[in-house]
Amino acid sequence: MTNENNSRVAAFFILKKVLDDGITLDAATEIIFEEFSVEILPQERRFIRHVTTTVIRRLGQLDKIINHCTKTKLGNTQMAIRHVLRIGIVQLLFSEVPAHAAVNTSVNLVQNKVSKKLQYLKNTVNAVLRNVDRERESLMKKYSNTRLNFPNWLLKGWDDRYGNAAVKEILNHLLVEAPLDISLKPELDLEEWANKLNGKVVPGGIRLTKAGKITELEGYFDGTWWVQDMGARLPANLLGAGKNDRVLDLCAAPGGKAAQSAAKGAKVTAVDLSRSRLGRLRMNMQRLKFDIDIIAMDILKYQPEQNFDYILLDAPCSSTGTIRRHPEILHMRSPADIKAMVDIQIKMLDHASTLLNKGGTLVYSVCSMEQAEGPDQIDNLLARNNTLRRQNIIKEELPGLEQTILPSGDVQTLPYHYQDGMDGFFISRLVKE
């Protein structure tokens, strides 16, 4: 089998795992790469990533185009054929693959990797893709609306909260691959390391648009830096803990925020329920040479011997702020999931507040753009807990990101708030009276 076909085969099976089995894109990619008997080269990995993420991001547009170009039924029974067509159309409309290669490799996929019961549809695949190639300009114009790719319930919530113009910007940024952001140890020079890594300085760190393999970047094994989105850096910075301060980091894995506090000399206790994620946290701390206290436990059952002056709760959430990096979230979340997350966050906030010393600071953050998980969550907390009050976040604390501060004094970052995008985070800082 040629390398050209290997890439399409891998993309096909990754998409089946994500869209049919509900597995995350990263996990599905790892599984399929491990199952392959031949080595997948770096350029092939980039191509597979581009194809799979573009299919998942633009699923609504792609399916409208497929339905426009064929009257053949392609429901659940024929889903494998729909996956093949999605892969083919992405190559035709959203990449520089020659048309003949996109069509021929798609037909080969049907012949070699789709069940024999569906191989009668290979002529349909050939015809649909040739139609798309012929009509590409009119199809791109007719189905250009990016809202086709997003569930209506999500769009309605964003329209109500942010307004149509802002939502249009959000959607445009969510359809583009995210750059790699890294946090540098604070004693090192940002400009110097940006030059070493061929990146640029952004608020609080360095951004790389073409990173390649992370472990091959200079400084990785020396523990010079760690991967962390610009938005994800803000909660620990706004916590304000410094040298020798005791910090409780709840839901701490994989450890980016714990690393920030440790880098400032704070004494960090990191608590998380997931042992596999804590394994990654331990590896990260060893590489970075940070000594922190790591506890594997349900945070709702965690009862320390003494309370803390600084608590960071990066709570489980819908993760709608990270759709750039994890586009499968679009197809895995429902309004019921948001409600379930809100209920968990309520319990975690109530428990975290009991672990905070008087005069102490609690920062609540979620990588979400949902009203219920952000402003509503904090308003409800303050209504039921009169020992807490907001400590407003001010623009001097967020140079370059002043537009993210809400009138309430909380922060909501959005994907378009910085040139090449950033993750969507809600952050609130509270003080115990």
Q: Domains in the chain, please, with CATH?
A: 3-148 (1.10.940.10), 179-228 (3.30.70), 234-432 (3.40.50.150)
- Check residue 356 and give its pLDDT: 98
pLDDT for residue 21 is more than 80: yes
Average pLDDT over residues 143-157: 97
Instruction: Give residue-wise pLDDT tens across range 276-326.
Output: 889 999 999 999 999 999 999 999 999 999 999 999 999 999 999 999 999
285 DSSP 8-state letter: H
71 vs 342: which has the higher pLDDT: 342
User: With bands split at pLDDT 50, 70 and 90, how would you rate the model's confidence at 161?
Assistant: very high
Say whether 184 sits in a helix, a strand or coil.
strand
- What confidence score (pLDDT) does residue 209 get? 85
pLDDT band at 6 (very low <50, low <70, confident <90, very high): confident
pLDDT average, residue stretch 33-59? 92
The CA distances from residue 245 to 130, 255, 261, 333, 430, in Å, are 64, 18, 9, 38, 17
Q: Which residues carry out catalysis? A: 367
pLDDT digits 0-9 by tens, 395-432: 999 999 999 999 999 999 999 999 889 999 999 999 99
State residue 115's pLDDT score. Answer: 86
pLDDT-derived band at 3, boundaries 50, 70, 90 = low
Please give the average per-residue pLDDT across 13-25, as a whole number: 96
- pLDDT at 167 exceeding the cut of 50: yes
Residue 51 banded pLDDT, cuts 50, 70, 90: very high
Percent of the chain with pLDDT over 70: 99
Positive or negative: CA dihedral 206, 211, 214, 220: negative
Percent of the chain with pLDDT over 90: 90
Condensed to tens digits (0 to 9), the pLDDT of residues 216-226 reads 999 999 999 99
Which pLDDT score is estimated for 64?
97
Question: Which residues partner with 254 through β-bridges?
Answer: none
Contact in structure between 190 and 201 (CB atoms under 8 Å) = yes
Q: Which residues of 303-324 are buried (b: 16+ CB within 10 A; e: fewer)?
A: eeeeebbbbbbbbbbbbbbbbb
Helix or strand (DSSP H, E) at 94:
helix 79-94
pLDDT in tens, 179-209: 999 999 999 999 999 999 999 999 999 999 8
Banded pLDDT at 1 (limits 50, 70, 90): very low
First to last CA, the chain: 68
Q: What is the pLDDT of residue 4?
A: 62
Res 272 pLDDT > 70: yes
Q: Is the pLDDT of residue 350 over 80?
A: yes
In this prediction, residue 39 carries a pLDDT of 82
Condensed to tens digits (0 to 9), the pLDDT of residues 239-260 reads 999 999 999 999 999 999 999 9
